[in-house]
């Protein structure tokens, strides 16, 4: 399930983020890559424990945890601190799968990566190339969103960032461990929750069918959630 979360950041917030990021010192992105990923990774990243990364990352998390669409799609248990990368001309990240377990650089806690996220901080007209390509059962999905929008997809997916040929692609990327490990179960729950919200908008939250479906939704979470 690949889900777009629009408007995670406002245009004003994107501009503020970019001012801070443009003034920051960037490291070679391969320093945080696994053995396989390092061979196909060519970009720059902010140090994850630096002040800029922590300040901007905390603002992203605050926005996401108040976003109903994100909560419905992700059912997050724990979210790793957002990181930031930059792809200049000729830089790319070849086909790879994200590490199954990642360590929180701030707490050293280990988390299972169920969902991967990319929050775009450059508008599509600022750069050529740089598409996020995610492979799924229906083929390759190409993603290049407006600045401030985010894409959420299973961390089990093969994916890559195509070479940038003009300009620079700036984004935030991070992972989360969901309360529901299975992508298939999360998809069912997301579809059910979105249907409940639509029906509630038409008939009211106290409609008997809405109440019954809401009970089914929560009972499925009781069955599938890990605590």
DSSP string, 83-102: EEEEE-TT-EEEEE---SEE
CA 87/CA 105 separation, integer angstroms:
22
CA 40/CA 7 separation, integer angstroms:
31
- The answer on whether 51 is annotated among ligand-binding residues is no
Residue 12 CA from chain centroid, whole number: 21
CA 218/CA 19 separation, integer angstroms:
43
Instruction: Residue 143: name the closest of 134, 155, 156, 154 by CA.
Output: 134
Residues sharing a CB contact under 8 Å with residue 159, sequence separation 6 or more, in sequence order: 95, 96, 97, 116, 132, 133, 134, 135, 153
- The answer on whether 218 is annotated among ligand-binding residues is no
Extract the runs of DSSP E, i.e. beta strands, from the chain.
3-5, 27-28, 41-42, 44-45, 76-79, 83-87, 92-96, 101-103, 110-112, 115-120, 127-129, 132-136, 139-143, 150-154, 159-161, 164-167, 169-178
- The answer on whether 96 is annotated among ligand-binding residues is yes
- The answer on whether 169 is annotated among ligand-binding residues is yes
Binding residues for Fe cation are: 96, 98, 159
Binding residues for 2-oxoglutarate are: 169
Binding residues are: 96, 98, 159, 169
């Amino acid at each position: 399930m690949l889900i777009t979360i629009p408007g995670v950041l406002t245009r004003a917030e994107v501009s503020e983020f970019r001012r801070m990021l443009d003034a920051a010192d960037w490291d070679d992105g391969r320093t945080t890559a696994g053995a396989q990923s390092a061979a196909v990774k060519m970009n720059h990243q902010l140090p994850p424990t630096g002040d800029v990364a922590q300040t901007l990352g905390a603002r992203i998390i605050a926005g996401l945890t108040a976003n109903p669409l994100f909560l419905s799609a992700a059912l997050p248990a724990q979210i790793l601190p957002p990181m930031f990368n930059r792809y200049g001309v000729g830089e790319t990240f070849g086909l790879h799968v994200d590490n199954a377990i990642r360590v929180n650089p701030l707490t050293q806690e280990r988390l299972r990566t169920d969902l991967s996220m990319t929050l775009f901080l450059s508008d599509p007209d600022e750069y050529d190339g740089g598409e996020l390509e995610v492979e799924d059962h229906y083929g390759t999905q190409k993603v290049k969103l407006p600045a401030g929008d985010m894409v959420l997809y299973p961390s089990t997916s093969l994916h890559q960032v195509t070479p940038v040929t003009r300009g620079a692609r700036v984004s935030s990327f991070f992972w989360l461990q969901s309360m529901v490990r299975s992508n298939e179960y999360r998809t069912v729950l997301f579809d059910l929750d979105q249907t409940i919200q639509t029906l509630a908008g038409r008939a009211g939250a106290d409609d008997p069918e809405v109440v019954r479906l809401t009970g089914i939704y929560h009972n499925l979470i009781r069955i599938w959630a890990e605590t």
